[in-house]
Amino acid sequence: MHETAHARVPAQKRKVLRHSVRGQVLDALRAALVDGELVPGEIYSGPALGERFGVSATPVREAMQQLAAEGAVECLPNRGFRVLSRTARERAELAEVRALLEVPVMLRLARTVPEADFRALRPAVAATAEAAAAGDLPGYAEADRAFHRAVLRLAGNDQLVQVAEELHRRAQWPLPGAPRVRRADLVADAAEHSALLEALIARDLPVVESLVREHVAGA
């Protein structure tokens, strides 16, 4: 792919909610990654992105440094930041690791957590369904992570939640050349959240295990 420091920047401004400028830019860049607006292989300059977001290049560079630490981009001195490409094998490896973490935890939660705690997560499931119905891919990605984060927090292990969140975020980056995710796919994925939550409430361990494995494999 042709490399240029002035590659296309995200076409639309993202709504930002955090007070920190760096946090705002980081959220916008993460959304652009999920939405495929930041193209794998392309190089983006800090000043060009800063102009797009209406900020100086400094918070853009700081946000890009965070994305580099997460493995989304690489820093090119005096040139900018290249969005890294993902492979199907990397995606499969992420799914395998996520399953190794989440399956045993979900099964333990199904055995030990009171039904009321699971029922309290229904608004999180509804949020994924709402984003899916709207075809809002970045919004769905955020709601998807929020649901898994809320379930895993019931385990009381902050380190587990952080590691699982990072793996989940990486799994959401699209593969190069992959077609845009369809609204129907998002709706089907959101339905799996509902089914998983109901299986947790019912303490149906075989269904919980099957759903978690299938869900992370399709992320």
Q: Quick check: 117 and 154 in contact, CB under 8 A?
A: yes
Measuring CA to CA, which residue among 149, 150, 146 is closest to residue 163? 149
Whether 19 shows a pLDDT value over 90: the answer reads: no
Show the domains of the chain with their CATH numbers.
21-83 (1.10.10.10), 88-217 (1.20.120.530)
Q: What integer pLDDT is reported at residue 8 of this predicted model?
A: 54
Tell me which residue of 170, 141, 171, 150 sits closest to 105, measured CA to CA.
Answer: 150
Is 132 strand, coil or helix? helix
Q: Which residues pair with 83 in a beta bridge?
A: 73
- 141: exposed, middle or buried (Cβ count in 10 Å: 0-12, 13-18, 19+): buried
Higher-confidence residue of 208 and 51: namely: 208
Residue type (1 letter), 43 = I
**What pLDDT, on the 0 to 100 scale, is given for residue 180?**
82
Percent of the chain scored above 90 by pLDDT? Answer: 68
pLDDT, residue 17, reads 40
Q: In the prediction, which pLDDT does 178 show?
A: 77
CA distance 57 to 218: 36
**Tens-digit pLDDT profile for residues 192-205:** 999 999 999 999 99
Mean pLDDT of the chain: 89
Where does the pLDDT of residue 4 fall: very low under 50, low under 70, confident under 90, or very high at 90 and above? very low
**pLDDT band at 7, cuts 50/70/90?**
low
d(CA 203, CA 197): 10
Give 72-94 pLDDT, tens digit per residue: 999 998 889 999 988 889 999 99
In the predicted structure, residue 156 carries a pLDDT above the cut 90: yes
Q: In this prediction, what percent of the chain has a pLDDT beyond 70?
A: 91
With contact defined as beta carbons under 8 Å apart, do 94 and 171 qualify?
yes
Among 12-21, 26-35, 48-57, the minimum mean pLDDT is found in 12-21
5 pLDDT tier (thresholds 50, 70, 90): very low
- pLDDT of 21 reads 86
- Over residues 61-77, the mean pLDDT reads 91
What pLDDT score does 175 carry? 82
Give residue 9's pLDDT band: very low, low, confident or very high (50, 70, 90). Answer: low
Residue 108 has pLDDT above 60, yes or no: yes
User: Distance between CA 203 and CA 166 in Å, rounded?
Assistant: 27
Mapped onto helix, strand or coil, the DSSP state of residue 81 is strand
